[in-house]
Structure formats: structure tokens, C-alpha cells
Structure 1
């Protein structure tokens, strides 16, 4: 009888420990990374809408592009000097590991990662690169009517037209990547039961899914603010220092 009571008490304690572990959360995503993510979403939508509305909204489209450039350059720098899980070195993995993860995912055996998983890391790198290329080419583009990018004066009209074509074409590739990204997020939420959306809002993930994971202690907000100010000032200087130009239609 005594042994049964002791066993029951041990089971109760173990159950309480499991419940406490499930309730415990690890701080994974810092505030600057989360703010970057959602501001990039808003800026991308704003850039699309202002372009769709027509040439009279070009100034707003341009400002959306400026925000995208600042955000992307910040995220690249933050990937070097930011918090643990935001750093590229801590989530970009060898292609072989990405393939293995994909195979395990199809078999329902893929492990959870505190930060980006190997496939998510590939998507992050892809989106950062194509969005930056999209935003930068827009700075040199023109609409062949009367609107030009702020850096149009640095290049020839012919090169501007080529960059404009790239700028337009990239949008559809980016849209495809975004659709894949959103689809993958919903897959993790509803199939794998990993709420990545909530994690990118709160910055926290359940500890019971992340054995031996490293939680961040600080978001380094002041460092992020300094970087944003420096990057914004640098972009402003580049734009202001650009040579004045008018649209050269060749006639």
C-alpha cells in the first residue's frame, strides 16, 4: 500500500513537471527582428498597392521602397551583430542538412528548431536577396512617362530601362516566394502544431519542443535603433547626393 502511494505521488510530481515544462516559454525572437518582419510585410503591401494605383501615387511607392531598403539592410547587418537566433551563423545550415530535414519532414520525423529550420533559413535568404534586388533596382527605374527613381541620374536611360524590367519581373518571383512562405507557415501551424505566427508576435516558443535551446536575454534594442538611424542617414545621403536628372525619352 505504501509503495502504491509513493508511486502515485511520483507520477503526480512527474505530471506536474511535464505541465510546467509545456507552459514554460523560451524567448527566441528579439523585438527588432519581430518589428522588422511585420514592417516588411506592411511595406511590401504598400509598395504593391501604390504601384497598382498608378503613376500619381509614385511618390508613395517610392517611400515604401525606401522603407524596404532600410529594413532589408538592417536585417542583413542584424544577421551579423544581432541576437543569437537572428544571426545567420546560427540558422543558415549546410545544404545537405536542409535536404535531410526535408526528407524527415515528409516522414513526420523532422525535429523542431528554436530559430529558423533549415528550409525556413533558405526561404529567409531568398526573400532577403530578391527583395533587396527589387528595391535597389527600383531606385534606378523609370516609368517611361515622367517618373524616375532617385538614382536615375547615375546611369544611362538604356540601363534604367533594363533595371526597370528586372524590377517589374522580380515582383512575380517574390509573390511566388511569399505564397510558398505563407503556405509553409500555415502547414506548421495546422499540421505540425508549431505556431510560428504567434512566435513572431510574442518572440517566445514552448520550451518542451526545444531541448537544450538557448534563450536570448536581451533584444539589444538600443543597438537596433542606432543601426536604423545610421542606415536611414546613409540612404538619405546617397539620394540627396545623387545628380539631378530628368527623364530622357530620346525624342
Structure 2
């Protein structure tokens, strides 16, 4: 083999290695991510559209509750990089990662990095609290939440106020999340958006031992159906006097 042939072969092998990818995000995590984004946007748009769209707003809220509850359960029993123990780090590790990032020292993690993990936990907690508060709300015009009958008028008004105020904090967190993703995509050339669509990251960044082999989508489907049935049972068995229907 000539020198030119060897050089050409080396270049070709390098190009193939750069294009190679490994799977890190399972299908349930990816479907959850984009479904939650759509449900959150739908809840906001339907709320801004007026009280006649309350049913749409309510169903978007149901979707948020089921999706967030699923992600919490999946964080315990899901695939490797979906589990909380695999990406949530303590304050020392998180600070070290933050300091290295600020010093522009490139670090790649198979799943969420420590800062991303904080955002995941913050968004899951705040979205769950806000959506559950929404079940007890009263707009003092036409509509009440499906579990309004469980609480007093005074408490319902407080929960309604907290439900509205939490939105702005969540929106700010979402904006920060989007900015962080754009920084990775534009400045660091690390396409997190594509990874959350395809489930795959460049093989150069991921060890072969970190690749997942199965999405276990059947288990995710069982969990979603069980959580949906539980929420339906709670709503349908709400006290008389509430809007305890699934519309």
C-alpha cells in the first residue's frame, strides 16, 4: 500500500469515527421531554386564550402531572442515564464541574451534566407543584379545578395565586435552560437538541460501556397507563360540587 493510500485510509477511518454515535437517551425520555414542552406551551396558550379554553388548559395540566410523575418514577427504574443516581451530583462535584466549565475546560458526560441535573430537578419539582395546585384552583368567574371540592374557598384562592405566580419562575427556568442548550450547540459545538431527538451522542464523547442497548419502552408504557388511571380515579372520585369530570 502506497503512502497516499495509507493517508487516504487514515482520513476515511477518522471521518467514520467522527460520524459514529452511541445511544444514551432512551425513547421514553425523549418522548417525555418533547411532550412536556408541548403540554407546558399548550397550558400557557390556552390560559391566555381565555376562560372558554379552560378545558384545554385543564387537559394540558393533566398531561403535565402524568408526564412529570412518570419522569420521577423513570428516574428510579428507567434506563441507565435516565436514573437520578447516575446524573445527580453533590454540591462539591457540581461546583468542580461549574468551575471547570467557566475555565473552558471541555467536559463530556454521557447523560445530564451536574448543572443540567440541577435544572432537571428544579423543573420537575416546580412543574409538579404548579400543576397539582391547578387541580384546586378557582377563577371566581366560571371555572374551578377538578379537586376544588376538597378545599375551602380561601385555600383555593391561595392555591390559585401560587399556581399563577409559579408560572413566571418556571418560565424563567425554561428560558435559562434554552440559553444553556444554545450555548452548547453554538459555542461548544455539542448538539444537545439532536441528541434529545435521536437519543445518540458522538462516539468520541461516549465510552462504549456507557451506551444503552434498550429503551424498555414497554415498561414506560405500563407506568404511564398506571399513572393516568390513578389520576383519572382521583378526579372522578372528587367530592360533589367540584368539576370532577374528565371532560
**Pairing 1:22–2:18 present:** yes
Indicate the residue corresponding to 1:110 in structure 2: 106
Match 2:200 to one of 201, 204, 212? 204
- Higher mean Cα deviation, 177-186 or 99-108? 99-108
Give me the whole-angstrom Cα distance separating, in 2, the residues matched to 1:234 and 1:15: 56
Judge conservation of contact 1:31–1:219 (CA < 8 Å) in 2: yes
Indicate the residue corresponding to 2:60 in structure 1: 64
Indicate the residue corresponding to 2:90 in structure 1: 94
Q: Which runs of 5+ in 2 are unaligned?
A: none
Question: What TM-score do the two structures reach when normalised by structure 1?
Answer: 0.92
> What is the SS of the residue equivalent to 1:208?
coil
Aligned residues: 243
> What is the SS of the residue equivalent to 1:232?
helix
Give me the whole-angstrom Cα distance separating, in 1, the residues matched to 2:106 and 2:91: 16
Offset at 1:18? 3.0
Offset at 1:168? 0.5
Partner deviation per Cα, 1:136-184 (whole Å, 9 max, x = no partner): 0000111011210001111111111111111000000001001000000
Judge conservation of contact 2:22–2:208 (CA < 8 Å) in 1: no
Indicate the residue corresponding to 2:210 in structure 1: 214
Indicate the residue corresponding to 1:168 in structure 2: 164
> What is the SS of the residue equivalent to 1:26?
strand
Q: Which has the larger radius of gyration?
A: 1
Partner deviation per Cα, 1:217-244 (whole Å, 9 max, x = no partner): 1110110110111000000000001102
Give me the whole-angstrom Cα distance separating, in 2, the residues matched to 1:135 and 1:182: 21
Give me the whole-angstrom Cα distance separating, in 1, the residues matched to 2:113 and 2:11: 30
Q: Which runs of 5+ in 1 are unaligned?
A: none
Give me the whole-angstrom Cα distance separating, in 2, the residues matched to 1:192 and 1:105: 11
Match 1:159 to one of 150, 155, 160? 155
Judge conservation of contact 1:114–1:213 (CA < 8 Å) in 2: no
Match 1:83 to one of 79, 84, 109? 79
Indicate the residue corresponding to 1:189 in structure 2: 185
